Amino acid sequence: MHYTDLFASPLGEILLVSDGEALCGLYFAGQKYSPALSDAKEEADLPVFRSALAWLERYFAGEKPETDLPLRAAGTDFQRAVWDLLKEIPYGATVTYGELAEKLAVRRGRPCSARAVGAAVGRNPISVIVPCHRVLGADGALTGYAGGLARKRALLQIEGAAP
């Protein structure tokens, strides 16, 4: 069973998804790869939603919130390894897809393509909190963001990292 709640952010409505204990999804309205949640029940009073909403309020107020939320993203082993790397990108910093691929290759002990990393980054189900918006193209350009490039730019501006 999944539970949902909504947050009215300055960048549009955000759908929060939980399994009742952990945050499993955070999607902007109209975001690519949003899940079909036919079995979901609206439940605003879950502790994880209260914590996530407080985190989002601090973030959009320009503060650097601590990421101590329980997160449970469903994906392949490769995707979860990439998403773990995303969590290591400091607030206000950016990296390239190639840099992530190199770091993952070292950890896994085998080559990794920037394209494969990019595909996994694009499927990140917990936007903003797992900061896929901090990943740029090889030349530092804004590229790909499931929530749209305007939102990616705005998120980076909030963090003082706009390219």
**Residues taking part in catalysis:** 132
**Beta strand 23-28 pairing with 135-136:** unpaired
For residue 101, what are the contacts with CB-CB under 8 A and spacing of at least 6? Answer: 112, 113, 114, 116, 117
- Residue in 129, 130, 126, 135 with CA at minimum distance from that of residue 99: 135
Q: What is the Cα–Cα distance from 43 to 35, expressed in whole angstroms? A: 17
Q: What are phi and psi of 157, to 5 degrees?
A: -65, -40
Residues in the chain: 163
